[in-house]
Structure 1
Amino acid sequence: MSFSRYINLHLIINHLINFIQKCHVNVFVCDCFSKINRMHQRNSNSNNKEKEIVILRSKGNVLRAAVKTDFPCCLIEKDEILKIQFINNNGNASTEQKPTIDDTSKPETLVTFYIHTTGGQKKKLLMKNRNLRLKVEDVCVYAFKEEDCITALKRDGRFIDYIFQKYCALSEMDSETIYEMSIPAEHLHQKHFQVIVISDIDLPDSQNALGITKTESDSTLELRTKPKVQNFFREEYDKSVQSFSKVRKVKEIMRLSESVCQIRVEGSAPVKATGFLLFGKFILTNAHVIKNFDPFTWKIHDPIKAAFGFEQKSDKGNVTVVSVKDTFAARHQGTEEGNHFDFALLELNGEIPETFPRLLKSYAKDNCTATGEVCIVGHPNSEVKKIDPCFIIGRGKRQKVEIEHVSENIKFYHIMTQQSMKEKWSFSKNQMTYNSCFFHGSSGSPVFDRKCRLIGIHTGGFAYRGEGKIRSVMEYAYAMQPILDKIKTLAEDKNRTDILEYLNDTNNYLNMTQKDQEMADVSGSQIEL
């Protein structure tokens, strides 16, 4: 857009008065109204003092879109004519003519987008002044790039409160793209939308679907309609299955799965989960699995056993069951510097065959970034060992998945919001997300990338109960490197030299060069955790 030092205001009152008012680009349209107001007041044939001013643009992607009187002059195009009209105010819309922001000296920080004055099927009336919908088809809204759409629409002041209280979205005109209203405004620039109602259920305080992705802002956060979303899932899932269906990959995963065990917590409230041999006689699982312990001494009050080879219920003879020592070797559950931890390192009492792989040997120290495809090995639903190939949901795609899940399960929306507020659903920087069929019993499962490298520990999901069964928006794991760093710190504090020997010996980690050569046939882009 090229900016002139003035704008041409073409005033129309009763189709009689026309003139040009010269205004500086760093002011607002209402600052140029002194001459308009004087002429307006002298016009004895009109009584427009309490009427709403409608300013129609002659340029832009949507012609004749109405702007407010606080519209920044720097966004008016060179030689653009503004046609000013007056409409009756039904009492809901403001007639004030004053700026709502302080600074417009940097037009590069501002964007504009267009909203149809008639909403979708569930809510036709969007404007506070119903006469505005009868007079113009579209309004032009300005916003700062970094602020969300809701903030811009509230500042605009022409829209009814309903669209901020219900689960609404922006449907781009002439396309199949739907945007959540919490999206940063920079992604809406020069686009034309209709407001649609996804659900008329009251939102708590935010337009963000569940609050999970409210801090996500590092990509275009747009939602495709169902056919396109379904294609996205289908294509990504097919690639995941294809990657792990190669015979050599399957064999490697099967070999590594020998280290995966079922954690059996006995006692008055028995629990079953998953763990895996990390190094030596130490197995890693989730801290939340074991609840009955002394937080000061780390002494575990319930007996625990690890069952290796539980792959068929009728074949118990091939299951190796080993008891676990009654004190944590290391444990941490909480958040530090943006990383969330939920791990427990347990030490086995008995000997484990050396043929069982230690998965630290499958971890490339400081060099494991999650790729598109991952594979989880564990004991979901406390059953026999299973494998689930799935794909990482990158940071930029999490909001798509969240909104799509809500729209497909809208009858559970109230339950989801209650659960999200109760558990304070959010993301940490060491968290990777995916869609998996692994639920209860699979906590503590190892997560492998497309090169069969250990990258994380499966921990849980954003779950809720609906119609008698557990449902989940998405599942997640925590990356290995922060966990290993924390184990090392705890081992130093506890003077566990045996653990430190394993962690400090580079021979216990994956030889990257060798592994990369073995897996060189696999290619693909990396997705940041």
Structure 2
Amino acid sequence: MFPQQIKEEEEQGHGKESQALKTEHLGHFFRFRHNFGKHIVTCNPSMNTVLEALCSNTKFRSIQDKNSQKELVIQREQVPRAAVNTDFPCCLIDRNELLDVSFIKSRESSSLAKKPVITSHSPENFCIFYIKTIGGTGIKLLMKNPELKRAVEKGVDYVCVYAIRGEKLRRALRRDGRFNPVIFRKHCALSEMGSEDITNMSNTVDHLDGKKYQVIVFDDQTASLESNQEFSQEPEPQLKAREHLTKPAEVQKILREEYDKSAQSFSEVKRVKQLMELSNSVCQLRSEGSALGTGFLLFDRFILTNAHVVKKIEPFTHKLQHSVTAVFDFEDLDMGKKLAVKESVVAVYYGKDQMGQHLDFALLELAEDAKPPNCQELLKNYSPPPIRGGICIIGHPDGGVKRMDPCFIIEKDHLEQAENKHRQENSEFLHVITQQCLTKEWEYHFTQISYDSCFFYGSSGSPVFNDNCQLIGVHTGGYAYPQGKKTRSVMEYALPMLPILVCIVRQCRQTGRDDIVEEMFRKCSVKF
């Protein structure tokens, strides 16, 4: 998150993640003002929200105790001096920013209501936008607490709303909790100030970042009951249709149609040729003849895989406790080019990093006498992950020959539906699924890319490509449970490349491997 001071200036930046890399060791703090005094608040890694950070300050706690029956208003320093909610992520507050703290008459203590905990500490996972506290025509009372509207005289013209990239506007506004529920019953939308652009509640939030809006009534009809449900998932038509299916043949037909759409782009000859060429960069990792998992040539002589694939690594020396071999071109039982891997691991991380993102990777280096195969360096094809669409995984599932599996991303808004659907279709194993969930402590990682795949054990470390054949992530695992002698999974997931690349750069700089950092920046198609 934000530990101690490092050099103020380094080489020219390589995008937002690079900037985060440069400043991650700077102590993060902001200031607050109540009446006249200005007070410094220091954030530590355990603090997710601005209220948590404020409550760590004794002066603020004293002020809050005196206003315990009132609602807290926190205004940002920069124009339009918007009021943030108490669950506003700490990482979105600028370093040394001044926040004005005041209190208004409380109606529902909406700003202190219990809300879902957002544990990400990376600003790149969020977007923020501003909404005028007075609605447009047809909206008499926009804010849940009318006192906030009356506080316009004090400068609260806008509220600042944060949202998770990829989610829908309705979900973000409901989580905020400050808006009158009527806007979810009417057909309301956001109208951009100074523009004719209108954003519906069912739109995703990514394009709203940094813009100002006013809530308007789009038409006078009442919104449907389904769209008015709390944190509505707004399923696609195909998912809606599933709810009423009872016959296995009907379910199979819907799934086939959905799969065909996701796999359509990969059936084009051009795409197939691209994937075949990219597949040459994929290898199976073995130790003493036994398959460990999958890896791929990231750049130069360096192989990327999951940390849990190579497992036993000396914690201080970062050396492998067993010899590892990379086998390329393992496409038939009597095929394969075996290359030795150095015992020293270049970079490795398992767990949550300092930005709160889950990582599971190991960067291996081929031995000096091992000649890398004539194949593409996949780092050149790197791209940020999409929020939806088709993907393709290439790897060695079950320790076998190289395979590929085209599937589709499960959008964050549809994860619960996908899970419930799997439970319903496998109700006889519900107790097994529940037991596995508890004993294995299944955890959803905020940045993960979720999908349904037939790849299970042995495929960890496989590259995941989008429908443009660009590298977006590393296939890492799934929520697996036993079904007789077979293994089933509720869903699978990959971890995105960008946090991995940033962590590799960080570790290589710490160990003096600037040559690797320079090579990465030179080979990467997108600067980070």
Residue 352 of structure 1 deviates from its aligned partner by 3.2
Give the Cα separation in 1 of the matches to 2:315 and 2:225. Answer: 48
Q: 1:326 to 1:145 in 2, by over 3 A?
A: closer
The Cα of 1:468 is off from its aligned counterpart by 2.2
Aligned to 1:356: 375
Residues 189 and 492 of structure 1: is their aligned pair in 2 closer, same or farther, counting only changes over 3 Å? closer
Q: In the superposition, relative to structure 1, how do residues 189 and 255 fare at CA in structure 2: closer, same or farther (>3 Å)?
A: closer
Deviations, residues 246-290 of structure 1 (Å, cap 9, x unaligned): 1111000000100000000238xx442100000010000000012
Question: What does residue range 173-188 of structure 1 map to in structure 2 within 5 Å?
Answer: none
Match of residue 310 from structure 1: 330
- Structure 2, unmatched stretches of 5+, are 1-106, 111-140, 146-172, 178-223
Note the 1:312-331 alignment, pairs <5 A. 312-314=332-334, 316=335, 319-331=336-348
Q: Tell me, yes or no, if the aligned pair for 1:338 and 1:428 is still in contact at 8 Å.
A: no
**Counterpart check, 1:509 vs 2:521:** no
Structure 2 residue aligned with 1:66: none
Shift of 1:429: 2.4
State the 1:423 CA deviation.
2.5
Deviation of the 1:371 alpha carbon: 4.2
1:276 pairs with 2:299: no
> Secondary structure in 2 aligned to 1:295?
coil
1:424 maps to 2:441: yes
Out of 257, 260, 263, the residue aligned to residue 235 of structure 1 is 257
Displacement of 1:107 in angstroms is 10
Q: What residue is the counterpart of 2:477 in the other structure?
A: 460
Tell me the SS of whatever aligns to 2:476. strand
Distance verdict in 2 for CA 1:495–1:418, change over 3 Å? same
Decide whether the 8 Å contact of 2:227 with 2:234 is kept in 1. Answer: no
The answer as to whether partners of 2:388 and 2:411 remain within 8 angstroms in 1 is no
Map 1:490-529 → 2, pairs under 5 A: 490-505=507-522, 508-510=523-525
Q: Secondary structure at the match of 1:272?
A: strand
Whose Rg is larger? 1
Which residue in 1 is equivalent to 2:357? 339
Q: Work out whether residues 332 and 344 of structure 1, in 8 Å CA contact, stay in contact via their aligned partners in 2.
A: yes
Give the CA deviation at 1:340: 0.9
1:130-176: CA deviation from partner (whole Å, max 9, x where unpaired): xxxxxxxxxxxxxx97699xxxxxxxxxxxxxxxxxxxxxxxxxxxx
Deviation at 1:398, TM superposition (A): 1.1
TM-score, normalised to structure 1's length?
Answer: 0.54
Asked if 1:220 corresponds to 2:234, the answer is: yes
Contact 2:174–2:231 (8 Å) recurs in 1: no
Q: How far is 1:434 from its partner?
A: 0.7
Go from structure 1 to structure 2 and tell me whether the alpha carbon gap of 1:490 and 1:189 turns closer, same or farther (over 3 Å shift): closer
- Cα pair distance change 1:218/1:257, threshold 3 Å: farther
Instruction: Find the aligned partners of 1:239 and 1:146 in 2 and give their Cα distance.
Output: 32
CA positional deviation for 1:190: 7.8
Question: Residues 98-152 of structure 1: CA distance to partner in whole angstroms, max 9, x if unpaired?
Answer: xxxx859989869xxxxxxxxxxxxxxxxxxxxxxxxxxxxxxxxx97699xxxx
Could you say which residue in structure 1 is the equivalent of 2:492? 475
Secondary structure of 1:455 counterpart: strand
1:286 is aligned, of 302, 306, 322, to: 306
| Alignment equivalent of 1:266, drawn from 284, 288, 309 | 288
C-alpha spacing 1:321/1:147, structure 2 compared with 1 (3 Å) = same
- Residue 486 (1) aligns with residue 503 (2): yes
Q: Confirm or deny: 8 A CA contact 1:187 1:220 kept in the other structure.
A: no
Amino acid at match of 2:345: F
1:109-128 equivalences under 5 Å are none
- Residues 388 and 410 in structure 2, CA contact (< 8 A), matched pair in contact too: no
> In 2 relative to 1, CA 340–511 (structure 1 residues): closer, same or farther, beyond 3 Å?
closer
CA distance in 1 between counterparts of 2:440 and 2:283 reads 29
Instruction: For 2:512, give the aligned amino acid.
Output: N
C-alpha deviations, 1:13-61, integer Å up to 9, x for none?
Answer: xxxxxxxxxxxxxxxxxxxxxxxxxxxxxxxxxxxxxxxxxxxxxxxxx
- Which has the larger displacement, 331-340 or 253-262? 331-340
Partner secondary structure for residue 264 of structure 2: helix
Q: Which amino acid aligns with 1:509?
A: C
Report the counterpart of residue 204 of structure 1 in structure 2: none
Q: CA distance change for structure 1 residues 445 and 147 in 2, over 3 Å: closer, same or farther?
A: same
Does the CA contact (< 8 Å) of 1:373 and 1:391 recur in 2?
yes
Superposition deviation, residue 466 in structure 1: 1.9
Alignment map for 1:403-422 (pairs within 5 Å): 403-422=420-439
Q: Aligned partners of 1:325, 1:333: CA distance in 2, in Å?
A: 20
User: Does the CA-based 8 Å contact 1:338-1:429 persist in structure 2?
Assistant: no
Secondary structure of 2:525's counterpart equals: coil
Q: CA–CA distance in 2 between the matches of 1:187 and 1:477?
A: 35
- 8 Å CA contact 1:461–1:472 kept in 2: the answer is yes
Residues 494, 220 of structure 1: CA spacing in aligned structure 2 closer, same or farther, 3 A cutoff?
same
Distance in 2, matches of 1:229 and 1:460, equals 26
> CA separation in 2, counterparts of 1:330 and 1:104?
47
Alpha-carbon distance in 1 for matches of 2:232, 2:444:
14
Are 1:259 and 1:358, in contact at CA under 8 Å, matched by a contact in 2? yes
Q: Which runs of 5+ in 1 are unaligned?
A: 1-101, 111-143, 149-185, 192-215, 513-529
Q: By how many angstroms is 1:418 displaced?
A: 1.7
Alpha-carbon shift at residue 499 of structure 1 (Å):
1.3
Distance 1:345 1:416 in 2: 33
What secondary structure, in the 3-state scheme, does the structure 1 residue paired with 2:409 have?
strand
* Match of residue 300, structure 1, among 320, 334, 340: 320
* TM value normalised by structure 2: 0.54
Query: Whole-Å Cα distance in 1 between the matches of residues 525 and 228 of structure 2?
Result: 50
Report the CA distance between 1:324 and its aligned residue. Answer: 0.6
Q: How far apart are residue 239 of structure 1 and its match? A: 1.2
Structure-1 residue corresponding to 2:123: none
Q: Secondary structure at the match of 2:280?
A: helix
Distance of 2:342 and 2:387 partners within structure 1: 33
